[in-house]
Structure 1
């Protein structure tokens, strides 16, 4: 998923975090960062999960792109920090849940959250989200998304078919029964026009 789509959505839809939404996250050093104005949000991809192929003669998989938004709050007043966390979580849900980060994606869904750290100066809370898309195209005219599709695109077009029929009966008594006798009883051809 493109970072810019989610960051732009957060910047435009989260006024309490305006100008304080950053890409990338290092949870080990984040809580000790005293130079960052608070509250602040940090966006980072987590992973992607793939389902098995759902088709037999083409390739189709559902891919779940997962990401997180970590909220860093001033916790010098714990009650105020927890109230602010409640409001900022709701603001993030309004900004992201149901938003489509790209034409190929389903709307974003919330995947849960957790408290990472809470001390006398900082509160760090992580919210996880995901959006799914299909790997493998739906229509032949769309660009190839897999090696198999690319390979199929390189094949020549089917322009015609010739069928030759060797019927089992009547069978030649000099050959093993039952089975074709090696003589063609019927041949026909057809051309395909586009």
Structure 2
């Protein structure tokens, strides 16, 4: 989930922010780099949490990825009476824009996780409104394009040469047992009765075996 996608969505669908939305890395960096005039919002990626693999033979994991929308309110009175009323309204505006929104490349919509207080001084108050979304790493079906690989398992398998064909020797166990080779009459006797050759041309999705004597 790219913060830039969330920024663009909020600029278009959250008029309460007035278009003053940017991406950031954390509150400390934001506070040092910004000169405060008016209302600001910053989309900050937070922790992610990976679940256990979904399958035994293919690496597919669900990842819950978090983000904070850090909203910095201008403060005109030191006790913050005005901002105290604006905070619940901002939560409603953010949830209207983000809760249920599926960011590009995500496997599920965003959900609201809660609010936390970050900072206050005479000029500003900052709160973080937290959201999370689900992404899936890997695929149950191998992608056709190596550029779409998301795990080493996929990249390694896509790097293998294509299977061009099979050569199969058939040693019939019973009743075609050569007692000169197996006096007890119990196969297999090590003699090849049939040979099968299967060609797998790339343009033939359903190859058929070609028996050979």
Q: Please classify the TM superposition score into its range, dividing by the shorter chain length.
A: 0.7 to 0.9
Greater RCO between the two (CA within 8 Å, min separation 6)? 1
Q: CA deviation at 1:123?
A: 3.0
* Cα distance in 2, alignment partners of residues 34 and 48 from structure 1: 27
Query: Does residue 1:140 correspond to 2:143, yes or no?
Result: yes
Q: CA RMSD in A?
A: 3.1
* Structure 1 residues 180 and 34: CA distance shift in structure 2, 3 A: closer
Q: CA deviation at 1:62?
A: 1.6
Q: Which runs of 5+ in 1 are unaligned?
A: none
Q: Is the 8 A contact 1:73 1:124 kept in 2?
A: yes
- Match of residue 130, structure 1, among 129, 132, 137: 132
Q: Which runs of 5+ in 2 are unaligned?
A: 206-213
Q: Is the 8 A contact 1:20 1:37 kept in 2?
A: no
* Equivalent residue number for residue 162 of structure 2: 157
* Equivalent residue number for residue 21 of structure 1: 21
Q: Which has the larger radius of gyration?
A: 2
* Cα distance in 2, alignment partners of residues 158 and 70 from structure 1: 53
| TM-score for the superposition, normalised by structure 1 | 0.79
* Structure 1 residues 52 and 123: CA distance shift in structure 2, 3 A: same
| Greater Cα shift, 116-125 or 28-37 | 28-37
* Cα distance in 2, alignment partners of residues 151 and 119 from structure 1: 54
| Greater Cα shift, 140-149 or 123-132 | 140-149
* Structure 1 residues 34 and 24: CA distance shift in structure 2, 3 A: closer
Q: Is the 8 A contact 1:62 1:132 kept in 2?
A: yes
